[in-house]
């Protein structure tokens, strides 16, 4: 994995875990595992390996913690102001929301909002089928838009 991809791997871990300490742990464990494999002549084949490995580590870590109660989420149609609303958020707010989403929605949204991967790559990392990925991203974005509307209202034109 090229050094310029490491910040994206950390961001992914942060979005998946929602907490800096956990994200750092998963990130470091993933990079150590890659170094161990490389030292033994079995280096990861591509950058997607890092994200797949980090995803499984994040999910295992989350399974040990308190699980959020499944609630029906309000939804809203995606608005043109969504990028501006997202820009108002602190990274911790975005990570807290995404990390609280149920799986596979959490993984799909974390990868989607990194704006780094094609849909084919997201399918490969999450091991979902296209209809499952589409549903996870679509419903997640509508739920996120409703939360954005309440947390970071769009500026109104006067």
* Per-residue model confidence as pLDDT tens digits over 63-72: 887 555 455 5
Mind listing the domains of the chain with CATH numbers?
Answer: 3-64 (no CATH), 82-151 (1.10.10)
Q: Find, among 135, 137, 83, the residue nearest to 110 by Cα.
A: 137
Entry pTM: 0.86
Q: Find, among 45, 46, 51, 49, the residue nearest to 14 by Cα.
A: 51
Whole-angstrom CA distances from 55 to 27, 34, 130, 134 are: 10, 14, 18, 19
User: What's the pLDDT tens digit per position in 50-100?
Assistant: 999 999 999 999 888 755 545 557 888 988 888 888 888 888 999 999 999
Opening angle at CA 154, ends 150 and 158, nearest 5: 130
Q: What 3-state class would DSSP assign to 79?
A: coil
């Amino acid at each position: 994995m090229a050094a310029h991809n490491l910040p994206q791997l950390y961001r992914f871990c942060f979005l998946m875990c929602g907490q800096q300490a956990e994200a750092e742990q998963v990130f470091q464990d993933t990079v150590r595992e890659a170094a161990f494999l490389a030292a033994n002549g079995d280096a990861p084949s591509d950058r997607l390996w890092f994200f797949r490995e980090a995803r499984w580590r994040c999910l295992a870590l989350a399974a040990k913690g308190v699980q959020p109660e499944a609630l029906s989420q309000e939804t809203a149609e995606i608005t043109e102001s969504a990028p501006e609303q997202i820009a108002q958020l602190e990274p911790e707010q975005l990570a807290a929301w995404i990390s609280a989403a149920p799986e596979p929605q959490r993984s799909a949204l974390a990868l989607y909002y990194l704006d780094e991967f094609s849909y084919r790559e997201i399918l490969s990392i999450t091991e979902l089928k296209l209809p499952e990925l589409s549903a996870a991203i679509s419903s997640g974005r509508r739920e996120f838009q409703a939360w954005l509307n309440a947390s970071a209202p769009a500026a109104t034109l006067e």
